[in-house]
Structure 1
Amino acid sequence: MSRRLSARKEPEPNHVHGPEQDHPHEHSHSVFSSHTHGPGASVDTAERLMAAFRGAGDRGSQITLLGLFANIGLTAVKGVAGYLTHSAALIADAGHSLSDLLGDSVTLICWRLSRKPPSDTYPFGFAKFETLGTTTVSLFLIGGALGLGFHSYHLLLTALTETASSLPSGPLQEILTNVTSAAPNAHAHGHGHSHAHGVDPNALWFAALGVVSKEWLYRITRRVAAQENSPVLLANAVHHRSDAYSSLVAFFAILGTWWVPHLPLDPIGGLVVSIVILRQGVGLLYGAWGDLTDAGVPLNTRQALKRTLEPLLAASASPTSEPALLAVRHVRGRRAGSLIFVDMTAEVPKTLTVHDASLLEEKIAQTLKAARKEIAEVRIKFQTVD
């Protein structure tokens, strides 16, 4: 007897990770702190702020709206402050906050679409809209990183040109002159605003504000992403973290320019910011690519699914029970946003009736879904053995 049955459930509004989760959980390491375990005072504050958005719907929408409004304020504050204090790094940081604002909008749209129930057009649900959102956010990061990198590069050339012209004749001046003259459009982008010199130290306060606020947004968004098992919310959290890194680099770039005004540390800081953002964006895109191409879940996840079914195998082997499930083989899984679709082969005795096979299938599906809330569907092929 060989037949294929399926068990399916609708996506739940809240997904809680099991012990074998393969998405990041509430335990992070960063340059801002060595460890973060569980909710803290900042998360409690976030919960109170999110209560103001209860009318916006679920927790994913609430945390995204909170980040969106925060990014509006940060973009305006850092942009104006960067212009007034003549800080290229702070202006680059404001540009990154603007990309975060766009990322929040994409996240909110894709998150809400992914929570729609299945339709005739999308019988497997809308979960892959989360993957689409993750891909879009990663492209925002990559594009923003390249733009900021080129901008900072041209500012650095302008600063080096000014430095070379002020130096006495010698080998150093000759090297700087050769470097700037060999670079394309070395003088075309100076357009009269030399941010490399004369940076107002007050810019430090605004860079510090960006570090603290964006790291806080990263932590609370990551926490909700783990609870909802959502890749698009996780991508948005990483977007917040990359902005925190860019603000941190901007802080040290401004500080260095203030202490050593004749060195072009500010545009160098902008270049470092762009590299950090680019790395984050490529990492997110690589993760989303697996979902888009239906890559299988990792080996440790497949092994965890098999271990989850071991009690059923033990029960079948008991002398007091009728043998049913003999072995589980060929376990596979693929992700679609926050959901996992699983299929496997179950070996059963040839004497098993169709009715008993149906009950066994239901038991297998219930066991897996109880252990991993993100499992949306389980398809089982029964194979009889002597």
Structure 2
Amino acid sequence: MATAVEQKRAHGGHSHHHHDNSYLTSSNKNDAGVRITRIGLYVNLASAIVKGIGGIVFHSQALTADAVHSLTDLISDVLTLATVSLALKPPTPRFPLGYGKIESLGSLGVSSLLLAGGILMGFSSCLELCQIYLPEVAHALEAVGLGHAHGHSHAIPDMNAAWLAGGSVLVKEWLYRATLKVAKERKSSVLESNAVHHRVDSLTGIAALLSIAMSNIYPAFSGMDAVGGLLISWLVIRAGWSNTKTSLVELADAGIDDEIKGKVQRAAEKAIETLQLSSNGGSGGVRDVEVKKVQGVKAGQSYLLELEVAVPGEWSVDRTGEVEDVVRRRIGEKVRGARRVRIRFLPQESGNDFVEEFISPSVSARSSPEPEEEHDHAHDHSQTNGDSHGSSNDPSNGNGVTRRK
């Protein structure tokens, strides 16, 4: 079963599918897909470090913000490597639904950190703009400890920062073309998605390059670098908030989207079609089996799926078990990330639904038979003890429980 599952990420106002880079966990280093994916990971690491140091040394808000942006995918890849083996561990009595939510928790933590980092970078860019165009506001913020004084020379970044940004654009563009070439050869949607991501990263690098160059070529627009940093920070904040919401929704057990439901439905129906339950396909045969409903939740990389399948009421357990095995196998082969498939069989004439499995709010512990049985047992035990002592006049609290003197 494939272990990768698509996750929709937003970058720079562009939406694309970003996968969990399952190639990173492969031991086949000679595979072209594994090689180019790991090269991408190393480039993200080097890019984040170089641009981060360059942004500080050359006083470029845009370059520093772009370094933070590079961290988004780097940390995502590292998180995958750190959690993929744990998240795919088999279920245990303590975690009967598996460990997939651990990855969702990790994603929430990392997304929150990136969101906070983007906000801090954006605030730093705003301070830089205030020092240039609104010094009174900058002094007021400094008075309350929100910022510190900079000379106006710091507002114009060193031109060397532009060379770093330009180099990043060239490397990312090369990665885009190299990854896309392998993706087309392998017909891999995972690699194609990663290629598109490299292209989006190069666009943020271009934004940093232009803002740095404009600040140096036209000193009157000395705030352009800070504006570029503010723009890139907003892109990081947007992506971080999007991923934070996705993680929260996963942890809240929101249902899977219609696209996944459709894939599961088609896989189940195809499995039923290919299953020869009877020689003539007539009454009581495959034509009488219907997939009524599909639902499920996402846990990290995994989908925990539930299906309602209607069958003739006279069918035996063995016959429904045959359908269950074939449907589960087919879904596992055709739906990437399907980890658990639970099938609920209903008679054709039944109008029940998954909602019927929930206990009605009118049912409470008070109406459950267990407390009454315990109460009756205690009552009988106290009466037996009272009878064995021959004491019918012992004080009682009226509930069949003898009070101690």
Change beyond 3 A, Cα 1:227–1:213: same
SS at match of 1:118: coil
Helix, strand or coil at the partner of 2:219: coil
User: What is the CA-CA distance between 1:320 and the residue it aligns to?
Assistant: 1.2
Deviation, structure 1 residue 318: 8.6
SS of match in other structure, 1:295: coil
Q: Relative CO higher for 1 or 2, CA cutoff 8 Å, sep ≥ 6?
A: 1
Asked if the contact 1:196–1:265 (Cα under 8 Å) also holds between the matched residues in 2, the reply is no
1:329 aligns with 2:292: yes
Note closer, same or farther for the CA distance 1:73–1:193 as it changes in structure 2 (3 Å cut). Answer: farther
Gapped regions of structure 2 (runs ≥ 5): 18-22, 350-405
**Preserved CA contact (<8 Å) 1:88 1:195:** no
Contact 1:316–1:326 (CA<8 Å) still a contact in 2? Answer: no
Change (3 A) 1:86 1:331: closer
- Structure-2 residue corresponding to 1:196: 155
Q: Write out per-residue CA displacement over residues 76-116 of structure 1, whole angstroms, 9 at most, x where no aligned residue.
A: 43244334433232233334445665554433212232233
- The equivalent position to 1:297 in structure 2, one of 228, 237, 256, is 256
- After superposition, the Cα gap between the structure-2 partners of 1:285 and 1:79, relative to the gap in structure 1 and judged at 3 Å, is closer
- How far residue 229 of structure 1 moved from its aligned partner, in angstroms, is 7.6
1:121 maps to a residue whose letter is R
Structure 1: 5+ residue runs without aligned partners?
A: 1-11, 37-46, 161-175
TM-score (norm 1): 0.68
Residue pairs, 1:304-319, within 5 angstroms: 304-311=263-270, 312=272
- Residue among 261, 270, 277 paired with 2:236: 277
Q: Which of 221, 224, 228 does residue 265 from structure 1 map onto?
A: 224
1:200-237 residue CA offsets vs partner (Å, 9 max, x unmatched): 3232120122234456668959x7xx96989xxx8x99
Distance 2:302 2:248 in 1: 16
Query: TM-score of the superposition, structure 2-length normalised?
Result: 0.65
Identity, in percent, stands at 32
Matches within 5 A, 1:201-240: 201-214=159-172
Q: Provide, for residues 253-305 of structure 1, a one-character-per-residue CA deviation record: whole Å limited to 9, x for no partner.
A: 10110221122111111111111111111111222222111111122432343
The question of whether the paired residues in 2 share the 8 Å contact of 1:329 and 1:345 is answered with: yes
Aligned residues: CA RMSD: 4.5
Distance 2:50 2:316 in 1: 70
Partner residue, 1:248:
206
Contact (CA 8 Å) 1:145, 1:274: kept in 2 or not? Answer: yes
1:155 to 2:128 alignment: yes
Shift of the 307–70 alpha-carbon distance from structure 1 to 2, 3 Å rule, reads closer
Distance 1:245 1:116, change over 3 A: farther
Paired AA for residue 293 in structure 1: A
Change (3 A) 1:201 1:31: farther
SS in 1 for 2:129: helix
Change (3 A) 1:60 1:185: farther
The C-alpha deviation readout for 1:5-62, integer Å capped at 9, x for no partner, is xxxxxxx3545x8xxxx7569xx99999xx99xxxxxxxxxx9xx89x9489999998
Q: Structure 1 CA distance, aligned partners of 2:245 and 2:13?
A: 23
Say if 1:116 and 1:60 are closer, same or farther in 2 by CA, change over 3 A.
farther
Check whether the contact 1:114–1:129 (CA below 8 A) recurs between aligned residues.
Answer: yes
Structure 2 CA distance for partners of 1:213 and 1:291, relative to 1, 3 Å? farther
Is the contact made by 2:211 and 2:225 (CA closer than 8 Å) also made in structure 1? Answer: yes
SS class of match (1:383): strand
CA displacement at 1:348 relative to structure 2:
1.3
CA positional deviation for 1:146:
0.6
Residue 335 of structure 1, CA deviation: 1.3
Q: Which secondary structure state, in structure 2, belongs to the residue aligned with residue 376 of structure 1?
A: strand
Q: From the superposition, tell whether residues 58 and 146 of structure 1 become closer, same or farther in structure 2 (CA, over 3 Å).
A: farther
Which residue identity does 1:298 align to in structure 2?
A: D
Q: Does 1:370 pair with 2:333?
A: yes
Q: Tell me the residue number matched to 1:7.
A: none
